[in-house]
Amino acid sequence: MSSDSRIRKFFAGFHRSFWVANALELFERLAYYAQAAVMSIFLRNHLKFSEVDAGTLSSIFGGFVYLLPIFAGTFADKYGFRKAFSFAFLVMAIGYFAIFAVGSPLYASFSHALPLFWVLIIVLIFTAVGESFIKPSVLGTIAVSSRTETRSLGYAIYYMLVNVGGATGPVIAYFFRDRIGIDSVYIVSASTCALMFLGTLIFYREPESVRDFRQPSLGQKLKDMLRVMSNGRFMVFLLIFSLYWIMFWQVFVIIPFYLTDFISKNAPFEIIESVDAWAIIFLQVIVNRMTKKMPPVTAIVVGFAVSTLSWLVIAIQPNIWTIIAAMVVWSFGEMTQAPRYYEYIADHAPKGQEALFQGYAFLPIAIAWFVGGTFGGWLYSTMTQSILVKTGDVVRVLGQPTGIWLSLTGIGIAATLLMIIYNAYITTKDRELPRA
Domain boundaries, the chain: 9-215, 227-436
* CB proximity list for 352: less than 8 A, separation 6 or greater: 436
Q: Which fold has domain 227-436?
A: Growth Hormone; Chain: A; (1.20.1250)
Q: In CATH, which of 3.40.50.300, 1.20.1250.20, 1.10.3720.10, 3.30.1510.10 is domain 9-215?
A: 1.20.1250.20
What is the distance between the alpha carbons of residues 96 and 355, in angstroms, rounded to a whole number? 33
Concatenated DSSP letters for 339-363?
HHHHHHHHHHSPTT-HHHHHHTTTH
Q: Please, which residues bridge with residue 391 across strands? A: 394
Using CA atoms, how far apart are residues 403 and 149, in angstroms rounded to an integer? 51
- Beta pairing, strands 394-397 & 388-391: antiparallel
9-215 and 227-436 share one fold: yes
Q: Could you tell me the pTM of the whole model?
A: 0.87
Regions of the chain short of the pLDDT cut 70: 1-13, 108-109, 111-112, 152, 208-218, 221, 348-349, 351-356, 358-359, 391-395, 427-436
Query: 323 vs 250, 263, 270, CA distance in Å?
Result: 12, 11, 12
Task: Compute CA distances 127 → 27, 50, 54, 263, whole Å.
Answer: 16, 22, 17, 32
pLDDT at 226: 78
Q: According to the model, what pLDDT value does residue 87 have? A: 96
pLDDT value of position 76: 80
Nearest to 248 by CA among 168, 323, 189, 331: 331
Question: What's the pLDDT at 436?
Answer: 36
How many other β-carbons are positioned within 10 Å of the β-carbon of residue 113? 8
Residue 433 has a pLDDT of: 44
Q: How many CA atoms does the CB half-sphere of 279 hold within 13 Å?
A: 20
pLDDT at 74: 77
Contacts of residue 229, defined as CB under 8 A and 6 or more positions apart, other chains included, come to: 235
Burial class (CB in 10 A: 0-12, 13-18, 19+), 351: exposed
Q: Report the first-to-last Cα separation within the chain, whole angstroms.
A: 48
Taking alpha carbons only, the member of 114, 110, 123, 113 closest to residue 42 is: 123
Instruction: Give CA–CA dist 287/295, Å, rounded.
Output: 14
